[in-house]
């Protein structure tokens, strides 16, 4: 069961993951709700635009809960697990638990005010009382921004504390394992270096409402995107670390090139903080800045390409073939293939000449949702399933019911995601602008398909969530988990020692687990 005050690294990981799942459900409901609104293009002036404020609130809630809460919960939860899996550990359990609750609960005060500012909160609209459905006084809107500031502060401190704990418990000899190394850089350093820009902006807005401090719109935009671009990498690049650990396990061989994977950290880390300028493409930028946008973004894409190639070669040179029949192996593979398809779709975006065709349209929405639905969500699910396996211990494994729900759910999810994502892309290419509830009627068939795809995804999410949530709540364990007999089946005997379950693999796994737990225990005792 998830402990509200965990004392192990694995428990801390599961706490943050539970936060992510809770908010994911809320933001998913918001998405289905505004998708239902979009089934009607509200273009009839007689009817008026009465539903627009609700639509814009749901869109804002959707974006804010994703970017300010869920991605951080997921990245930090995976970070804690990466430490556990690498024989490292969290040290500051009490601090991180308090930070977890601030991170997750503070934004409720903001949402209660009914913001329709969009998650990027651009001035001057976000500084007008009319941009809030419930809060209408300076004091209350200042409070709403202050609680967002507290959320950002908790994110920064969580990543910093976990990073420090990782350094404290790093292996005495040899390199930091690749999973933990990625987590340290992308769920640790990247967060505490870029999130302060958001925190500063939010504090600035608070002071605007509470003390009349003036806000410079262009400075806001620069501050915001210095955070707003890297934030999209908090989870994917941390998940890369997880895939570097999981895919070799299911391919039954070591990673094709660990050296590439390590060098790639430097490339991804540097360029993820340079590429944000591409968010200013509709600003009247000088040519040299435009010339900066395309290569920085494409070099970053090349770093992702290197990850893809490294994993492809690992799968291709697998001695016994990739084990996609395991739910974790299956999810990792879907995340990987989805990432390639979602990445290719995006290549025209950073190029100045082609960006103009699709800028601010559903094409962009299609791009980042395909990324979110594959590498971020399915990639995290692969890691979460692996976490659950570590949690229940080597004597239990997914039951046939769990496997059925996970395969069906993940397949259905992927089908829905590609229907919705590619329809978004096509509609965007044809000129459908983002964030319109009163959109031109000729786009209605596309909107309908997107909504039906989203409903498929919503339904499939229930399939995937059932075994995960029940295990986290420690309900129905005998239904979702069956004992591993300990008798090795022929297929597992011949597999690599890192085989995910059964046979010799389970012994190795048990040793690893004991190692992780002992370290956790030692640290708890030390405190
Ligand atoms: Cu960007």
What are the angstrom distances between the C-alpha of 364 and each of 207, 229, 273, 370?
33, 13, 20, 10
Helix H, strand E, coil C: the string for 170-191 is CCCCCCCCHHHHHHHHHHHHHH
Predicted confidence at residue 277, as pLDDT, reads 87
349 Cα: distance to centroid of ligand 1 (angstroms): 10
Cis peptide before 184 (omega within 30 of 0): no
274 Cα: distance to centroid of ligand 1 (angstroms): 10
* Structural domains in the chain plus CATH codes: 1-228 (1.20.210.10), 254-483 (1.20.210.10)
278 Cα: distance to centroid of ligand 1 (angstroms): 6
Written as six digits, the tokens of 442 are 């000729």
301 Cα: distance to centroid of ligand 1 (angstroms): 11
Residue with tokens 């997750």, as numbered in its chain = 104
Residues within 5 A (CB) of ion ligand 1: 229
Predicted confidence at residue 508, as pLDDT, reads 42
CA separation for the pair 503, 356 (Å, rounded): 56
Helix H, strand E, coil C: the string for 57-81 is HHHHHHHHHHHHHHHHHHHHHHHHH
CA separation for the pair 355, 504 (Å, rounded): 53
The rounded average pLDDT for each run of 10 residues, N- to C-terminus, in the chain (527 residues) is 85 97 96 91 71 93 97 98 96 97 98 96 94 96 98 98 97 94 97 98 97 94 95 96 95 94 93 88 84 86 90 92 94 93 88 88 96 96 96 92 96 96 96 91 95 95 95 92 67 39 41 46 46
275 Cα: distance to centroid of ligand 1 (angstroms): 6
29 Cα: distance to centroid of ligand 1 (angstroms): 26
404 Cα: distance to centroid of ligand 1 (angstroms): 37
392 Cα: distance to centroid of ligand 1 (angstroms): 39
């Amino acid at each position: 069961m998830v402990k509200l005050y965990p004392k192990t690294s694995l428990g801390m990981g599961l706490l943050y993951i539970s936060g992510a799942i809770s908010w994911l459900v809320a933001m998913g409901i918001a998405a289905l709700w505004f998708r239902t609104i979009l089934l009607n293009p509200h273009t009839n002036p007689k009817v008026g635009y009465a539903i627009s404020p609700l639509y814009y609130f749901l869109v804002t809630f959707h974006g804010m809960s994703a970017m300010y809460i869920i991605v951080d919960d997921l990245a930090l939860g995976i970070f804690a697990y990466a430490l556990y899996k690498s024989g490292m550990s969290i040290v500051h359990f009490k601090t991180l638990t308090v930070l977890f609750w601030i991170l997750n609960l503070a934004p409720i005060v903001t949402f209660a005010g009914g913001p329709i500012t969009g998650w990027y909160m651009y001035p001057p609209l976000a500084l007008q009382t009319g941009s809030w459905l419930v809060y209408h006084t300076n004091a209350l809107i200042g409070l709403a921004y202050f609680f967002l500031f507290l959320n950002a502060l908790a994110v920064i401190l969580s990543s910093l504390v976990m990073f420090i704990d990782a350094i404290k418990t790093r292996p005495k000899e040899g390199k930091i394992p690749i999973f933990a190394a990625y987590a340290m850089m992308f769920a640790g350093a990247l967060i505490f270096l870029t999130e302060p820009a958001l925190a500063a902006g939010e504090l600035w807005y608070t002071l605007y409402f509470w003390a009349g401090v003036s806000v410079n719109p262009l400075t806001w935009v620069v501050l915001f995107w210095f955070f707003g671009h890297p934030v999209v990498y908090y989870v994917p690049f941390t998940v890369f670390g997880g895939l570097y650990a999981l895919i070799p396990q299911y391919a039954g061989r070591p990673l094709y090139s660990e050296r590439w994977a390590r060098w790639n950290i430097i490339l991804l880390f540097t360029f993820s903080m340079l590429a944000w300028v591409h968010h200013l493409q509709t600003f009247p930028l000088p040519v040299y800045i435009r010339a900066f946008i395309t290569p920085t973004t494409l070099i970053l894409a090349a770093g992702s390409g290197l990850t893809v190639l490294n994993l492809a070669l690992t799968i291709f040179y697998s001695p016994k073939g990739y084990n996609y029949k395991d739910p974790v192996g299956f999810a990792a593979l879907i995340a990987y293939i989805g990432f390639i398809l979602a990445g290719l779709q995006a290549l025209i975006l950073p190029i100045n000449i082609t960006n103009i065709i699709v800028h601010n349209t559903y094409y962009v929405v299609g791009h980042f949702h395909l990324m979110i639905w594959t590498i971020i969500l399915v990639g995290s699910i692969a890691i979460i399933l692996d976490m659950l396996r570590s949690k229940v211990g080597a004597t239990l494994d997914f039951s046939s019911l769990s496997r059925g729900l996970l395969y069906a759910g993940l397949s259905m999810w992927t089908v829905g995601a590609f229907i919705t994502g590619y329809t978004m892309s096509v509609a965007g290419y044809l000129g459908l602008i983002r964030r319109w509830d009163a959109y031109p009627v000729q786009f209605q068939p596309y909107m309908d398909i997107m909504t039906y795809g989203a409903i498929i995804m919503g339904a499939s999410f229930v399939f995937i969530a059932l075994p995960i949530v029940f295990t986290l709540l420690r309900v129905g364990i005998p239904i979702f988990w069956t004992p591993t007999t300990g008798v090795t089946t022929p297929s597992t005997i011949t597999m690599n020692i890192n085989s995910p379950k059964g046979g010799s693999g389970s012994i190795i796994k048990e040793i690893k687990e004991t190692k992780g737990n002992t370290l956790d225990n030692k640290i708890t005792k030390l405190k």
